[in-house]
């Protein structure tokens, strides 16, 4: 089996949303302090022994997170029609980071979105 390296880094952001069509309190405006675990995977290290610098992963992820931070997610263009559930948020962040860092050498492995200390969504492709 070929070697593989999985790097994980953490970010967070705060935002509010309301879940359209939800039969309970989450249909009302409410907020979360989201925690995001970003995992990238690759097989080949560069000339100094790194898959990618953690700072580089964070730079790309932060570009995605910054557009969601301190916002009402229902107003974000991606969530105008798509319900801003934790599942859809995880999928969106994963794909946006993948578009920024994806290459033959490196790709997203999985993304975990924590909406609180007890509940999370893990997304991968």
Active-site amino acid positions: 26, 70, 115
Cβ(106)–Cβ(40) under 8 Å? Answer: yes
Give the three-class secondary structure for 91. Answer: helix
**Which strands make up the sheet holding 106-114, listed edge to edge?**
71-72, 5-17, 30-42, 106-114, 120-123
Tokens 């509010």 belong to: 16
H or E element in which residue 56 lies: helix 54-66
């Amino acid at each position: 089996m070929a070697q593989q390296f999985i790097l994980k880094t953490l970010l967070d952001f705060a935002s509010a949303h309301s879940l359209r069509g939800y039969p309970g309190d989450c249909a009302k405006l409410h907020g979360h302090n989201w925690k995001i675990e970003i995992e990238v995977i690759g097989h080949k290290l560069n000339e100094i022994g790194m898959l990618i610098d953690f700072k580089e992963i964070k730079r790309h992820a932060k570009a995605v997170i910054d557009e969601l931070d301190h916002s009402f997610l229902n107003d974000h263009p991606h969530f105008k029609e798509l319900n801003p559930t934790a599942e859809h948020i995880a999928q969106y962040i994963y794909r946006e980071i993948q578009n920024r860092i994806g290459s033959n050498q490196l790709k997203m492995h999985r993304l975990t979105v924590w909406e609180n200390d007890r509940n999370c969504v893990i997304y991968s492709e």
